[in-house]
Amino acid sequence: MIETKPEKMGKPHSTSVVESDTEMRFELPFTDIHNMFYIGINATEDWTVRTHYHDHFELCYLDQGQLTYFIDKSVYHINECELFITKPGERHYGLTDGISHFRLYYLGFKLDMLRAFEGEYYGIGVDRVITDEEHQIKRLFEQIIGEVRNRRQGSTEMAQGLFLQLLATLLRLHLDRTTLGDNKPKTLKPMIIKLMDYLQEEIRHDHNIEEIAEKLHISRSHLAREFKTTTGMTIGEYIRNLCLDNAKYQLRETDKSISVIGEEMRFVSIHTFSIFFKHYMGMSPLEYRKQIRGNR
């Protein structure tokens, strides 16, 4: 199996707003604040994101639910009120258990104009999940989002001040942290890395797990058991979430027809694809595309 090359997600180039029942995202919310690229909240219960990396830092705060997150070759099990960052160049992706109520705050930013912070943030190691028991980070997220949405007099200056306060608060939390056993990163086994790379290399709903197991020179039952133990979900659930994430991305970011999107993921017909999508998303692919684009 060939290792999948992770997708590079660049910074946004223009101001935009994506707002739906499950997500709110502001890209380049303030043109005068050059170090804040995007900020948002995602509440999709079966949320997943494909393997990617970027040239900036990203902070995630889990307000509700449970999240399994992979950064390079380490896996983290994130619980409510916990937060973590990814650094420039780090390959990462994540997924929920698909059951619990889910709410994730996230912020993309760079620090090349804030050298005092930059060195400290690059110095954060693999043991990076921390608990925010007093909800300081959540409050700062809410305040920044409030300034972005309301656009009152002085919003740019307020948002910049809150952003700096967030950076300093996060560093203090790291310095004052109490390491918890459950938050220790676990190293992914090579077979799990290869399996995930293979499934993400060609996202399709009809993968044959038996054949994949043979290519990995391991029994299907052992592969399934190891995957479930590592991620908290079955291989089938992971494939489903990859397909949903890919479908939403294609519907949102491309002009491909719905039938082509379904065909690329090996659905036998547009009808079958639409039933699959509506079962998990509560709306048809066409309704989803219209809703997302109508909010831009």
| b/e per residue 55-83 (b: at least 16 CB within 10 A) | ebbbbbbbbebbbbbbbbebbbbbeebbb
Q: What CATH number should be reported for the domain whose range is 17-176?
A: 2.60.120.280
Neighbours of 254 (CB within 10 A): 11
pLDDT of residue 184: 65
What pLDDT shows up at residue 180? Answer: 47
Q: Which residues pair with 96 in a beta bridge?
A: 67
For residues 26 and 39, give the distance between their C-alpha atoms in angstroms, rounded to a whole number: 5
- Give the pLDDT score at 10: 63
The C-alpha atoms of residue 104 and residue 109 are separated, in whole angstroms, by 16
User: What global pTM score does this model have?
Assistant: 0.75
* pLDDT for res 186: 74
- Tell the residue number behind the tokens 């970011």, with chain if given: 253
Give pLDDT < 70 ranges for the chain: 1-8, 10-14, 98, 178-184, 295-296
The pLDDT tens digits for 20-77 are 778 888 887 777 777 899 999 999 877 878 788 899 999 999 999 999 899 988 889 8
Domain ranges of the chain: 17-176, 188-295
The angle subtended at Cα 128 by Cα 171 and Cα 10, nearest 5°, is: 85
Give the whole-angstrom CA distance, residue 183 versus residue 185. 6
User: φ and ψ at 67, to 5 degrees?
Assistant: -140, 135
Output the pLDDT for position 183: 57
Superfamily of domain 188-295: Homeodomain-like (1.10.10.60)
